[in-house]
Structure 1
Amino acid sequence: MKKSHLKSPDLLPITQKDRTITKLGYSFMWVGMVVVLATFAIGGSGVINLSLPWVILATVIGSLAIGFFISLIADIGIEHGLSFPVYMRAPFGTIGTHIPSVTRGITASMWFGLNTYFGSTAMNGILNILFGFDNWFICFIIFAIVQLVNTALGIKSIERFADLAAPVIILIAIWMYSSLSDKAQAAGRDVWSWVESPVTGGAAFTAFMVVIFANMGFWATLSADIPSISRFMNAPANEKNWFKRNQSSLVGNLIAMPLTQTFMIIIGAISYIAVLNSDPVVALQESASGLLLAVLLLMIVLAQWSTNTAANVVPAATIFSNVGGPKFPFWAGVITAGIVGTIVQPWQLFDILIQVLLFVGGILSAIVGILFADYYLLRKRRVNVPELYEDHGQYRYSGGINLAGFIAWIIGAVASYFVPEYGFVVGFVGGAAIYFVLARFWWFKKYPQAEIQDPSDEKYLGISVGRDWIIEEDTREPVLDKIPENVDLY
């Protein structure tokens, strides 16, 4: 039998025994993921018009909001063990999934390149201090290769590196905060009250909202494809309570991420206050020297490594593997992500970073809204998983395309473009509402969905009823392995 392009081994559902990411492991991954150039840039741009306390408040609001959306979509991976591009076959079709998925894959690759550039400048600074070496592009190539190899070794390798890097990042970040605060005080600027160009009234409200949605827009990328990571998270079998089943996800998304995000926003803001540049690599080179500077820059290198492997390369590689089929394994997707992230010349992107965040956030938020409507409102978390891997199953729709999904995505994305400050909310609500109406009252009338017509938990739920989805090559029926209720998962 010809091997279906939908059944690439790297895209099959993850079983209970292979879900190895713990609550602590996922939280440590977040610690590394938020220490990126964009996070610092949000803090730096925030204190141009607002005082630091207001920037912090906006960051907390935005982080908790996007953490909630990430947790909602993460249940797709936790419940069914499915990756982002595989589940996207439901709202976009078995062929249509490639268009929005590749959009996200290219975006993730660009972020990989940007973060690698940021890390390579820090690496170059360390080598320059220790050995007099000065060539950031060679550092870029070496740093990219090391990260790609780490990712190609698998999710456990990524988690182990995060476990190692996170405590070091936290300690050095505290040290960095102290160093930059001293620099700001020496310049005669109080970090808690200084504002470059204060605004009031409606302008202040707009500036406040920009910080909120810049934080949300940045993580809109991960909120869309979090199933590619969450499918590896530990979760209790036979647990129907949503909150208990998603504990690992919730701790990371609503505690670890907001706390670390806020702290790094503060560092970016203080960096700008100290030297009028939110790039801490530049700020640190002006405020520290010698071995102290090398240690501070080490945090930047470790953080970019931790961020890229989990938040950018894994999603991009999974998506490219989905497009390429069984003959294009995960490691080939990793290499593709690295190539794309390099040829876009990420060192040219920093000056337009906030605008890019808001624009991309709006486009991807429409996808998040569509995923939410499809998974929770229409299918009510029940998924006919075996059909996701069938070329001519219920998700083929019309030539492999779900028009309801594409119409909703286009309208939601376009609407978000015209209100960039509120792009995430407009894109999410627009995408979800339009998709719900079109799918329920039009598209699914033409193409009936088994799990909607027969909403059976036993047939269409996954881990919450103790089911592992095992997809076989030679049958349309899944092998359903019941996970014993008395198994100690932890």
Structure 2
Amino acid sequence: MSLNIEDQSDVNIERTPGVNESLYPKKTKDRTMGPIPYMFMWVGDGVNLGNMTLGGSMIIAGVATLNIFQTFAAAIIAIGIISVVFALNDRLGYKTGIPYVIQLRMSFGEKGSIISSLLRGVPAIVWYGFQSWVGATALNEILKVFTGGSFDSIPICFVVLQAVQIVLSMYGFHAIKWVETLISTVLMAAFVYVFILLITNYSGVIADKWIHTGGTWGIEFWAFIMVLMGNYAAIFLSAADYSRELKPGYNDAKRGFFYFSPIILAYGTVICIGAMLASATGNSNPVKALAIVFNNDAITVFVSFFIVMGAIAVNMVANIVAPTYIIQLLTKISYKPAVVITGLLGLCSFPWVLVQDSSSKGLATFVLIYSAFLGPIVAILLVEYYLLRKQKVNVADLYKADGPFSGYNPAAITAMLIGAAAAFMFVDLAWIIGLVVGGISYYVLTKYAFKNSPFKKGTIFEK
């Protein structure tokens, strides 16, 4: 029997051996986030050096590929789509309290969800390492100032910062709620200060290299939209991991507002500053660019401190929760040991390979490549939930090892691969191509192929 999700917000689920307690539905009384902390969480996630680096990626050989108007048009389009997909894909987790790794079972099956969950977890771990490396670069700048240059070791700072994040992350969303609210408020103030200093001291060169450049509304414009969306593709794919922490009572439109407002504020700010910094200095590494712009020890310490805080903020939201849940699912261990493993994997991600001083195109390329897989997965989840099951699913069945969602769904695996293959044919538009092709393929395959598949049960194609 399929149940409407509104009927299952606090249903007791029979415990299954091997499934950790933290992966069961989050009850209403246990949810930690009201709307204000929830929006601050997305501000904290958006105000980070990775997003600033994406802004800097537009500056190639000293000239912007997009001018200021094209940049903001791309950002508004991308963030609008991001917010809509967030509100659509977070609904199941919000109404029932289940995490992303369990939501995947609805489409991919218990065993099939392992493959699709890894495609979310691996990019998160790489981003975790990258953000920590950027934060470690900033921490190194601070220590160089205080030691008069006698200390200079980014790898040591990398290990120390990773250890701090592991400890903080052990407290889950209780720590995220307060850390994000504090850090995001201070970071926005700091970046406004950076913006004012850039306008004051570098307005001429920024105008020449970014504002007044011709730019293009062609493929580079749409590719940048794909990069911006691809940057969030992993997060809104696992939207259930966050919405299950939001207190009940907010409809889809309100939740969409909870995403759009903070993301446009934070994302828009840091993309703008990233482009301005790269224009002014010719350096795509924002930490080193800031050191050039503010050649003053006091300001270097000030700015670097908030860069470190930003790295911690974005990792706690975007890059630790999802892979930790995935590790729990695969290893059956509890939350805290899984957090430690996630942190150790982040140490081994070699993030310095993605961004060189002269160009951050490696980061943009990495985003486009992994989003080729994430576009089809999010399409499959949305087609499954809204079209095939009409928002009706028995959540208890998702936890049964021998239930209707056991094994793997060949239609979902095949559709994911078809969508990713199509996306790789034109990687600059990977996410949207993968989304469309993957979604259509899944609908067609579910209807016409694998006629005896148990995954048709409960869908509009059940006979």
- The two structures have a TM-score, normalised by structure 1, of 0.85
Is residue 73–residue 372 contact of structure 1 (8 Å, CA) maintained in 2?
A: yes
**How many corresponding residue pairs?**
437
Q: Does 1:10 align with 2:28?
A: no
Write the letter of the residue equivalent to 1:78: Y
- Equivalent position to 2:453, from 446, 453, 476: 446
Alignment RMSD, CA only?
2.2
Write the letter of the residue equivalent to 2:172: G
How do 1:16-415 and structure 2 match up within 5 A?
16-47=28-59, 48-132=64-148, 133-185=151-203, 187=205, 189-190=207-208, 193-195=211-213, 198=214, 204-236=217-249, 244-246=250-252, 249-288=255-294, 289-325=296-332, 328-350=333-355, 351=360, 352-396=362-406, 400-415=407-422
* 2:435 counterpart residue number: 428
Report the CA distance between 1:72 and its aligned residue: 1.1
Identity level (%) = 28
Write the letter of the residue equivalent to 1:345: F
Report the CA distance between 1:377 and its aligned residue: 1.0
Write the letter of the residue equivalent to 2:138: A
Q: Which shifted more, 345-354 or 216-225?
A: 345-354
SS in 2 for 1:291: helix
Q: Once the two structures are superposed, what CA deviation does each residue of 1:304-338 show, in whole Å capped at 9, x if it has no partner? A: 1110011010011011111112xx11222212211
Write the letter of the residue equivalent to 1:137: P
Write the letter of the residue equivalent to 1:275: T
Gaps of 5+ in 2: 1-13
In structure 1, what is the Cα distance between the partners aligned to 2:336 and 2:318?
16
SS in 2 for 1:67: helix
In structure 1, what is the Cα distance between the partners aligned to 2:37 and 2:114?
30
In structure 2, what is the Cα distance between the partners aligned to 1:246 and 1:138?
45
In structure 1, what is the Cα distance between the partners aligned to 2:284 and 2:197?
14
Gaps of 5+ in 1: 237-243, 456-490
Is residue 107–residue 412 contact of structure 2 (8 Å, CA) maintained in 1?
A: yes
Report the CA distance between 1:356 and its aligned residue: 0.9
In structure 1, what is the Cα distance between the partners aligned to 2:448 and 2:433?
22
In structure 2, what is the Cα distance between the partners aligned to 1:361 and 1:146?
29
Is residue 180–residue 283 contact of structure 1 (8 Å, CA) maintained in 2?
A: no
In structure 1, what is the Cα distance between the partners aligned to 2:174 and 2:252?
19
Report the CA distance between 1:404 and its aligned residue: 0.6
Is residue 384–residue 450 contact of structure 1 (8 Å, CA) maintained in 2?
A: no
In structure 2, what is the Cα distance between the partners aligned to 1:211 and 1:454?
38
Report the CA distance between 1:199 and its aligned residue: 5.0
